[in-house]
């Protein structure tokens, strides 16, 4: 009997401590417009509008309403937002209302009140525990089909699949001396005491205001103020302190090792107009030296038939809706409980105008005080009794109340019927131990209050107040204060102990009767459904069935029935499920055990976890000093690691193939220019530098003359090729190493590791100079003329500047080192200049080479050019399983050196086996055919599967210079198969490609072109 | 024929535009009023030398550099515009005025002779930024896991870490500014990232500081 006409008239606004009843705002639910107040949650606003039916349940599509008032809500999951902001499965109890909010119910078709899926409810006998396991097990080949059906049935709401999320999400790191999670009575006290030390304190509160239960109850006075007034005042005081960060609307959802906490701050969700510069949410990644958990407690439901009907609500939730939001959840209510505390919720509602017609307590002897108060209010009581069934179609209408035996296992008399539109239920309290448990803290069963509470901690953390099972307010603040002092001290600080606030609170006995299911008087499986896990639609008889079928471990029962496995992680269901399991197994709850809680405490937006690592900031893009030139020339790019390298330079109207062929021809006929700046470069200096290289590379380095270059191959200690490159001796004790682009960082780490851990006696220093130098590789018959035309003081004639040597000087006035080395097989100069001159060098060479037909070429042409020569690329011809011998490069493996990395491994028998995969060349029968890279070779194209595979193609191109395709492959015993014919079956069903095994040197096998 | 080009693009070639080249302007006023939350200034005119040597060699350089090179981990030694930044037990990054580079290197060679050391110019490999503004630490906190609060990262401290996906070195240089060093090829990414991270505070890009 919430408000009927307007907000003011039907809210108990004098009590509504969390809303501004003068600030009406409108929102829609399932297309209908309603009014709420600023400060409302969607749930409180719906109740204020007498909307109780909020969704359909997951499995049976049963009508469901609002059961709780916080993060534990299992039923009222709705979709909110429009367009890209659509977000499904949000708890209505956690949505702060804003003007224009659009919300929709879920899991219903065609409408909430008339839902086709409800038929699942009629046929529910066929949906027992483990239904999917049993039904979709057999035959295995049908699984693919079953999966589609299950996937469609699974899940509740739908995310937008057509819109991009328009919101920004931020992430940030933060460090605090003391983190307090939860801003209720205990949390505020802990934060006050901690802040008094001057240490850096974070207080995170899930709601938009601090206070927790202080906002919902009306019987606690602190320092002469109402509880919520004290909470507001204290929060304000804390927020003004320099050393305190107070985050409202912030849920701590994860607690990991080394006091690492993750918090979700909802920055703009409550705003109708969302400022563009603010993120929607902010993920806080917090390192805390000390943590104080003050996360409160959640009321347990009672398990009885029909306990999921809209209008059946946790007693504390009804009191929250009354006192915080001024909403009466009904007009004619009944309380069913096993403890004293819930009586006070019923009294509060009764006094506010909801007629409580009966209080039903499973105990025979509640506290005299509550009996007296009930009598004074004229509320009749049923002691030693329970609600055995609740009835109604879309809302609670009637309950059956019956006396129970002393143990609560069976009925002890006839049932009476009571009409009602609200049932308050309370099965005791569950401390919110989730974060403690996430951080690997242990739990223990508390025999006083029949709940799990924290025992030993794994992290530097303390639990205080209700989350520690200390439900009495005075006890909670004492704990909070002591914990804060302990934390301050543990951090090496000192703080004066603050006077505890003067607190006046009702004395309540928080010991409930352990009763995990109210009997229905009917055999298991008959009568109405008694829900344990509301979100996953798991009933008490599902758990009983699981035990009968042999599932005894809590971990098995949980997975078989799915109890506790919904997105609420069983906040309201776990203890009842354990209790029923223990009863069925004739065991005690501690012996049955509990499950471990995992992050996130509440479902968390993926967008927030992605943060700003999206679009252009997803991964850094590294560009060379000549990047701008390539872009202006219209180059296409390819990613090489994080580098973006020019791939090819199409001219107007050219296809990729045409462009690459033009570039490849130019490099052999006139000259090509390649941006090779990304090559890894390492400066190696020290008296033992040559010896160091001698151990790193497979070949010999001691006698390399100053100014000379040598190609080297390095292996991992398993003898497999790791990287290659040309290294140059700059001075006796000084070398310049080059590595592959992708291998640069790994090679430097590798060298450092060997120097530091294995050969510390070698005097060598390593410095990365990859980015110090820009490199332009000028290659082709006209290379020398172009370099001369550009102007250089280095004599370029073959006698003065031999192949595999380096000269230092200038190019067009720029300080340069020119390495006469070649990856194309042509006369080639790798011109290195300090990176700032890279662009100047490039444009100078392009200008100087214009009349000679200089052509910029990209990485694709580079690949083809080296493919024509049979030069390997580490990572293309090798994959970590290939030795130098496999590559046909035994010439580079010294057998004279005492040792090098990989030497011992290469000497092992398996490394010398004749059937290892070895690198060979391939020439297709049809010269125009290019074998796809990765194609597998077989000797007999007609053999039935399984086909005997010889190996695969590693590189394959059409060579415009040769007029036929060239390919390399790693084939079993390839080196002994020269001249053999192999076949490459095609995936697309076209005829296998026929090729002959050849040497890998296709072009200029004698290397005569190196001298121009 | 143009269509064949676009076919090739869809064949894996990234756009010609550098993806991270952010559309964000050079200046973004503080959306909540007041000064921009962070200023991002490129530091030019400095030479960087990566020095690798043992402590006894470092000691020899005191007179040449003008102040003892830091022996304690993660500390910076300052002398006028010169900085010596501790990178490792045997690695220090020297920052000096560009016009002093040639003379400094000659003197260093003369001073150390045949001693075992490596002094490698890396000015072109590393970019230097000076970050100012009242929200500079909030911006950095979005990508750097270190505790940069002045109580923990004091003036004269330095550290090597990550800023989002880029390796960086940070130095708490003055009471109201930090130096940030990153590899040249990451400097576009770092700048774009900083600008984007500062959207809620406003930022200003400066040419030199």
Average pLDDT over residues A26-44: 95
Inter-chain residue contact A170 with B18, CB threshold 8 Å: no
Q: Which residues is A471 bridged to in the sheet?
A: none
Q: Is residue A340 part of a domain?
A: no
Query: Who among B14, B121, B141 is closest to A172 (CB)?
Result: B141
Q: Is the pLDDT score of A366 beyond 50? A: yes
Instruction: Tell if the CB–CB gap between B116 and A763 is shorter than 8 Å.
Output: yes
Last residue of a domain, one of A723, A744, A768: A768
CB A235 within 8 A of CB A215: no
- For residue A681, the chain B residue with the least C-alpha distance is B125
How far is residue A750's CA from residue A716's CA, in Å, rounded to a whole number?
9
* Same-domain check for residues A78 and A180: no
**Interface touch B5/A616, C-beta < 8 Å:** no
Cβ <8 Å between A637 and B14: yes
* CA gap A272, A396 in Å, rounded: 34
Helix axes A540-548 and A554-561, enclosed angle (nearest 10): 120
- Note whether residue A952 is domain-resident: yes
Express each pLDDT in A602-660 by its tens digit: 999 999 999 999 988 999 999 999 999 999 999 999 999 999 999 999 999 999 999 99
Q: Is residue A692 part of a domain?
A: yes
Report the pLDDT value the prediction gives residue A120, as an integer from 0 to 100.
59
Confidence of residue B17 (pLDDT cuts 50, 70, 90): very low
Q: Quick check: A632 and A466 in contact, CB under 8 A?
A: no
Q: Judge whether residue A271 has pLDDT over 60.
A: yes
CA distance A93 to A769: 58
Across the interface, do A772 and B124 touch by the CB < 8 Å criterion?
yes
Determine, for residues B118 and A619 on separate chains, whether the beta-carbon distance falls below 8 Å: no
Q: Which of A156-160, A221-225, A758-762 has the lowest mean pLDDT?
A: A156-160
Give the orientation angle of helix A341-352 with respect to helix A315-325, to 10 degrees.
40
Q: Which residues of B touch A171 (CB under 8 A)?
A: 142
Q: Are residues A780 and A849 in the same domain?
A: yes
User: What pLDDT is stored for residue A123 in this prediction?
Assistant: 55
**pLDDT exceeds 70 at position A835:** yes
With a cut of 50, say whether residue B4 has pLDDT above it. Answer: no
Is A1004's pLDDT higher than 70? yes
pLDDT of A113 = 73
Long-range contacts of B54-57 (CB under 8 A, 24+ apart): B54/B90, B54/B116, B57/B112, B57/B115, B57/B116, B57/B117
Interface test with B, best of A620, A681, A688 (most B CBs within 10 A): A620
Q: Which residues from chain A sit within 8 angstroms of residue B144, using beta carbons?
A: 173
Provide the residue range defining the domain that includes A147. 129-153
Nearest CB to B52: which of A615, A687, A767? A767
- Whether chain A has a CB inside 8 Å of the CB on B52: the answer is yes
Across the interface, whether the CB atoms of B185 and A683 are under 8 A apart is answered: no
Measured between beta carbons, the chain A residues lying within 8 angstroms of B102 are none
Q: Which range among A111-125, A401-415, A735-749 shows the weakest confidence by mean pLDDT?
A: A111-125
Nearest by CB to B14, which of A278, A624, A644?
A644
Contact list in A for residue B120 (CB cut-off 8 A) is 683, 685, 767, 769, 772
Contacts of A679 in chain B (CB under 8 A): none
Q: How confident is the model at residue B10 (pLDDT cuts 50, 70, 90)?
A: very low
Contacts across the A-B interface (CB distance below 8 Å)? 155
Structural domain includes residue A56: yes
pLDDT at B124: 97
Provide the pLDDT for residue A161: 75
Among B2, B152, B193, whose Cβ lies nearest the Cβ of A617? Answer: B193
Q: Averaged over A480-487, what is the pLDDT?
A: 98
Average pLDDT on A94-117 reads: 82
Residue A971 lies in a domain: yes
* Cα of A256 to nearest chain B Cα, Å: 15
Are B186 and A655 a contacting pair at CB < 8 A? Answer: no
Section A692-708 average pLDDT: 97
HEC assignment per residue over A973-986:
CHHHCCCCEEEECC
Q: Which residues of A touch B197 (CB under 8 A)?
A: 170, 612
Which candidate, A797, A717, A697, places its Cα nearest to that of A758? A717
- Any idea what the CATH number is for the domain that residue A962 is in? 2.40.30.110
How far is the C-alpha of A872 from the C-alpha of A689, rounded, in Å? 26
Domain annotation covers residue A590: no
Domains of chain B: 27-43+125-206 (3.30.1360.120), 46-121 (3.30.70.1520)
Q: How many domains does chain A have?
A: 6
Find the mean pLDDT for residues A347-366.
96
Tokens of A501: 């606030």
**A652 and A784 fall within a common domain:** yes
Helix runs in A672-813, H state only: 689-696, 744-753, 783-790
Residues A833 and A929 in one domain: no
Q: Rounded mean pLDDT of A703-722?
A: 97
Does A969 reside within a domain? Answer: yes
pLDDT of residue A137: 55
A813 token code pair: 């006035």
Considering the domain architecture, whether residues A29 and A94 belong to the same structural domain is answered as: yes
A765, B126: Cβ pair inside 8 Å?
Answer: no
Q: Averaged over A108-112, what is the pLDDT?
A: 70
Encoded tokens for B88:
């490792």
Q: Which of A170, A173, A766 sits opposite B145 (nearest CB)?
A: A173
pLDDT of residue A4 exceeding 50, the answer is no
Identify the domain boundary among A866, A886, A921: A866
Whether A161 is covered by a domain: the verdict is no
Q: Are residues A855 and A816 in the same domain?
A: yes
CB contact under 8 A, B14 and A638: yes
Q: What is the mean pLDDT of residues A361-379?
A: 97
A656 plus A685 within the same structural domain: no
Q: Which residue of A has its CA nearest to B138?
A: A172
* Whether residue A12 has pLDDT greater than 70: no
Shortest distance between the Cα of A209 and any Cα of chain B, in A, equals: 24
Q: For position A6, what pLDDT does the model report?
A: 33
- Residues B157-184, mean pLDDT to the nearest whole number: 97
Kind and range of the H or E element at A804?
Answer: none
Give the bridge partners for A380, in sequence order: A358
Q: Does B6 touch chain A if contact means CB atoms closer than 8 Å?
A: no
- Is there a contact between B147 and A773 if contact means CB atoms under 8 Å apart? no
Distance from CA of B117 to the nearest CA of A (A): 7
Q: Which chain B residues are Cβ-neighbours of A623 within 8 angstroms? A: 18, 185, 188
Q: What is the dihedral of CA A531, A532, A534, A535, to 10 degrees?
A: -140
pLDDT of residue A154: 53
Instruction: Report the residue from A637, A653, A768 with minimal CB separation from B2.
Output: A653
Residues whose CB is less than 8 angstroms from the CB of residue A631 and which lie 6 or more positions away in sequence, other chains included? B16, B17, B18
Beta strand A416-419 with A398-403: parallel, antiparallel or unpaired?
antiparallel
Query: Which of A277, A279, A765 is opposite residue B52, by nearest beta carbon?
Result: A765
Q: Say if residues A432 and A443 touch (Cβ distance below 8 Å).
A: no
Tell me, what's the pLDDT at A5? 32
CB contacts of B196 in chain A (<8 Å) are: 612, 617
- Minimal Cα–Cα distance from B3 to chain A, Å? 9
Same domain, A761 and A644: no
Is B5 in contact with A168 (Cβ distance < 8 A)? no
Q: Which residue has the higher pLDDT, B94 or A17?
A: B94
Q: Do A621 and B31 touch (CB under 8 A)?
A: no
Sequence-ordered list of residues with C-beta below 8 angstroms from that of A11, at least 6 positions apart, any chain: A3, A19, A21, A37, A48, A325, A326, A327
Same domain for A111 and A134, yes or no, is no
Q: Tell me: do A754 and A793 sit in the same domain.
A: no
Q: Do B1 and A653 touch (CB under 8 A)?
A: yes
B35-58 mean pLDDT: 96
Which chain B residue has its CA at the smallest distance from A627's CA?
B18
A-proximal residues of B, 27-46, CB under 8 Å: 31-32
pLDDT for the residue B12: 40
pLDDT band at A911 (very low <50, low <70, confident <90, very high): very high
Report the candidate in A938, A1009, A1004 with the shortest Cα–Cα distance to residue A966.
A1004
How far apart are alpha carbons A786 and A779 in whole angstroms?
Answer: 10
Put simply, the chain B residues between 151 and 170 with a CB less than 8 A from any chain A CB are: 151-152, 164-166
Q: Pick the residue from chain A with its C-alpha nearest to B93.
A: A767
Residue of B nearest to A685 (CA): B118
- For residue A141, pLDDT over 70 is answered with no
Report d(CA A968, CA A871) in Å as an integer: 10
pLDDT tens-digit profile of A542-601? Answer: 999 999 999 989 999 999 999 998 888 899 999 999 999 999 999 999 888 887 899 999
Residue A177 and residue A285 in one domain: yes
CB contact under 8 A, B16 and A635: yes
Residue B68 has pLDDT above 50, yes or no: yes
Q: Which residues of chain B does A836 touch, with a Cβ-Cβ cutoff of 8 Å?
A: 124
Share of chain A above pLDDT 70, in %: 94
pLDDT category of residue A7 using cuts at 50, 70 and 90: very low
Grade residue A785 by pLDDT with cuts at 50, 70 and 90: very high
pLDDT at residue A807 in the model: 97
In the predicted model, what is the mean pLDDT of residues B37-57?
96
pLDDT level of residue A139 (50, 70, 90 thresholds): low
Same domain for A241 and A182 = yes
pLDDT value, residue B14:
41
pLDDT digits (tens, 9 = 90+) for B131-144: 999 999 999 999 99
Which tens digit of pLDDT belongs to each residue from A190-232?
999 999 999 999 999 999 999 999 999 989 999 999 999 999 9
pLDDT at A107 over 80: no
Q: Do B118 and A643 touch (CB under 8 A)?
A: no
| Cis upstream peptide for A946 (omega within 30°) | yes
pLDDT of residue B100: 96
Pairwise CB contact (< 8 Å): A621 & B189: yes
Q: Nearest C-alpha of chain B: how many angstroms from A634?
A: 7
Q: Min CA distance, B67 vs chain A (Å)?
A: 24
Query: Hey, are the CB atoms on A771 and B17 less than 8 Å from each other?
Result: no
- C-alpha to C-alpha distances, A438 to A171, A255, A256, A441, A733, nearest whole angstrom: 21, 6, 7, 7, 56
Domain boundary among A505, A534, A562: A505
* pLDDT given at position A138: 55
């Amino acid at each position: 009997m919430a408000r009927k006409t307007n907000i003011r008239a039907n809210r108990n606004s004098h009590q509504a401590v969390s809303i501004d009843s003068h600030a009406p705002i409108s929102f829609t639910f399932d297309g209908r417009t309603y009014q709420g107040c600023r400060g409302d949650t969607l749930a409180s606003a719906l109740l204020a509008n007498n909307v109780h039916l909020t969704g359909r349940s997951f499995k049976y599509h049963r009508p469901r309403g609002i059961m709780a008032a916080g993060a534990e809500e299992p039923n009222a999951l709705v979709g909110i937002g429009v367009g890209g902001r659509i977000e499904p499965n949000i708890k209505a109890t956690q949505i702060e209302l804003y003007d224009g909010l659009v919300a929709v119910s879920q899991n219903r078709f065609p409408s909430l009140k008339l839902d086709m899926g409800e038929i699942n409810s009629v046929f529910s006998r066929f949906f027992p525990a483990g239904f999917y396991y049993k039904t979709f097990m057999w035959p295995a080949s049908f699984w693919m089909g079953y999966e589609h059906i299950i996937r469609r049935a699974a899940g509740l709401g739908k995310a937008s699949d057509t819109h991009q999320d328009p919101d920004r999400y931020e992430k940030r790191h933060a460090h605090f001396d003391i983190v307090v999670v939860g801003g209720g009575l205990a949390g505020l006290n802990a934060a006050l005491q901690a802040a008094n030390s001057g240490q850096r304190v974070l207080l995170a509160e899930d709601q938009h205001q601090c206070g927790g239960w202080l906002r919902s109850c009306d019987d606690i006075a602190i320092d002469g103020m109402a509880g919520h007034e004290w909470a507001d005042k204290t929060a304000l005081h804390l927020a003004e302190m320099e050393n305190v960060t107070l985050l409202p609307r912030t849920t701590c959802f994860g607690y990991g090792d080394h006091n690492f906490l993750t918090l979700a701050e909802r920055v703009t969700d409550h705003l109708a107009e969302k400022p563009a510069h603010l993120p929607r949410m902010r993920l806080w990644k917090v390192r805390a030296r000390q943590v104080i958990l003050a996360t409160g407690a959640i009321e347990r439901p009672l398990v009885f038939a029909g306990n999921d009907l809209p209008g059946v609500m946790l007693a504390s939730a009804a009191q929250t809706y009354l006192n915080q939001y001024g909403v009466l959840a009904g007009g004619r209510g009944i309380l069913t409980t096993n403890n004293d505390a819930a009586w006070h919720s019923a009294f509060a509602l009764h006094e506010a105008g909801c007629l409580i017609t009966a209080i039903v307590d499973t105990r025979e002897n509640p506290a005299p005080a509550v009996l007296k108060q009930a009598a004074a209010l004229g509320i009749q009581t049923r002691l030693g009794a329970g609600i055995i069934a609740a009835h109604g179609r879309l809302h609670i209408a009637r309950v059956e109340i019956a006396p129970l035996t002393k143990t609560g296992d069976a009925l002890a008399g006839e049932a009476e019927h009571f009409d009602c539109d609200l049932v308050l239920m309370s099965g005791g309290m569950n401390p919110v131990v989730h974060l403690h448990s996430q951080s690997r803290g242990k739990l223990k069963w508390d025999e006083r209050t029949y709940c799990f509470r924290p025992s030993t901690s794994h992290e530097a953390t303390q639990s205080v107040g209700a989350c520690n099972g200390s439900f009495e307010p005075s006890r909670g603040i004492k704990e909070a204060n002591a914990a804060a002092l302990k934390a301050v001290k543990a951090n090496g600080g000192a703080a004066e102990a603050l006077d505890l606030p003067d607190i006046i609170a009702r004395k309540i006995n928080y010991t409930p009767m352990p009763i995990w299911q109210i009997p229905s008087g009917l055999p298991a499986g008959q009568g109405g459904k008694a829900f344990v896990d509301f979100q996953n639609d798991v009933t008490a008889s599902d758990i009983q069935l699981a035990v009968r079928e042999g599932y005894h471990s809590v971990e098995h029962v949980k997975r078989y029935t799915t109890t506790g496995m919904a997105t609420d992680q069983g906040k309201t269901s776990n203890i009842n499920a354990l209790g029923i399991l223990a009863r069925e197994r004739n065991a005690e709850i501690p012996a049955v055990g509990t499950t471990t809680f995992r992050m996130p405490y509440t479902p968390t937006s993926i967008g927030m976890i992605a943060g700003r690592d999206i679009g252009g900031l997803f991964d850094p893009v590294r560009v060379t000093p000549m990047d701008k030139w390539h872009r202006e020339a219209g180059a296409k790019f390819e990613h090489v690691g994080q580098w973006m390298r020019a791939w090819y330079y199409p001219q107007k109207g050219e296809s990729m193939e045409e462009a690459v062929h033009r570039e490849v021809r130019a490099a052999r006929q006139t000259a090509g220019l390649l941006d090779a700046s990304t090559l890894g470069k390492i400066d190696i200096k020290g008296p033992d530098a040559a010896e160091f290289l001698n151990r790193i590379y497979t070949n010999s380095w001691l006698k390399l003359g100053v100014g000379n270059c040598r190609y080297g191959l390095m292996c991992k200690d398993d003898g497999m090729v790791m990287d290659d490159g040309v290294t140059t001796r700059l001075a006796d004790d000084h070398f310049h190493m080059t590595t592959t682009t992708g291998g640069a960082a790994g090679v430097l780490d590798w060298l450092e590791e060997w120097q530091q851990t294995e050969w510390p006696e070698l005097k060598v220093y390593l410095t990365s100079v990859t980015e110090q130098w820009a490199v332009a590789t000028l290659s082709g018959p006209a290379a020398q003329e172009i370099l001369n035309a550009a102007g250089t003081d280095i004599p370029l004639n073959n006698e003065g500047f031999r192949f595999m040597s380096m000269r230092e000087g200038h190019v067009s006035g720029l300080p340069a080192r020119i390495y006469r080395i070649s990856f194309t097989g042509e006369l080639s100069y790798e011109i290195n200049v300090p990176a700032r001159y890279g662009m100047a060098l490039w444009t100078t060479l392009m200008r100087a080479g214009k009349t000679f037909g200089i052509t910029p070429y990209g990485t694709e042409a580079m690949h083809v050019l080296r493919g024509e020569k049979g030069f390997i690329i580490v990572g293309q011809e090798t994959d970590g399983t290939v030795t130098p011998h496999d590559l046909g490069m035994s010439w580079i493996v010294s057998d004279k050196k005492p040792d090098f990395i990989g030497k011992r491994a290469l000497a092992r028998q398996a490394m010398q086996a004749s059937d290892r995969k070895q690198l060979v060349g391939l020439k297709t029968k049809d010269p125009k055919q290019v074998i796809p890279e990765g194609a597998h070779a077989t000797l007999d194209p007609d053999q039935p599967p399984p086909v005997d595979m010889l190996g695969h193609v590693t590189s394959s191109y059409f060579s415009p210079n040769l007029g036929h395709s060239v390919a390399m492959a790693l084939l079993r015993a390839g080196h002994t198969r020269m001249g053999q014919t192999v076949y490459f079956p095609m995936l697309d069903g076209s005829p296998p490609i026929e090729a002959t095994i050849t040497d890998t040197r296709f072009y200029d096998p004698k290397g005569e072109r190196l001298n121009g | 024929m143009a269509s064949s080009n676009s076919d090739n693009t869809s064949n894996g070639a990234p756009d010609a535009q550098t993806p991270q080249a952010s559309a964000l302007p050079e200046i973004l006023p503080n959306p909540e009023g007041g000064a921009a939350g962070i200023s991002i200034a490129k530091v030019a005119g400095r030479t960087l030398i990566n020095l690798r040597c043992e402590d006894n060699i470092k000691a020899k350089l005191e007179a040449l550099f003008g102040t003892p090179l830091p022996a304690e981990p993660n500390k910076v030694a300052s002398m006028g515009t010169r900085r010596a930044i501790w990178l490792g037990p045997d690695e220090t990054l020297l920052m000096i005025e560009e016009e002093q580079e040639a003379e400094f290197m000659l003197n260093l060679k003369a001073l150390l002779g045949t001693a075992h050391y490596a002094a490698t110019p890396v000015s072109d490999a590393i970019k230097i930024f000076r970050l100012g503004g009242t929200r500079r630490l909030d911006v950095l906190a979005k990508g750097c896991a270190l505790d940069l609060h002045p109580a923990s990262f004091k003036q004269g401290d330095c550290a090597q870490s990550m800023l989002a996906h880029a390796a960086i070195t940070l130095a708490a240089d003055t009471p109201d500014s930090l130096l940030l060093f990153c590899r040249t090829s990451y400097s576009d990414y770092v700048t774009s990232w900083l600008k984007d991270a500062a959207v809620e505070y406003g930022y200003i890009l400066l040419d030199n500081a």
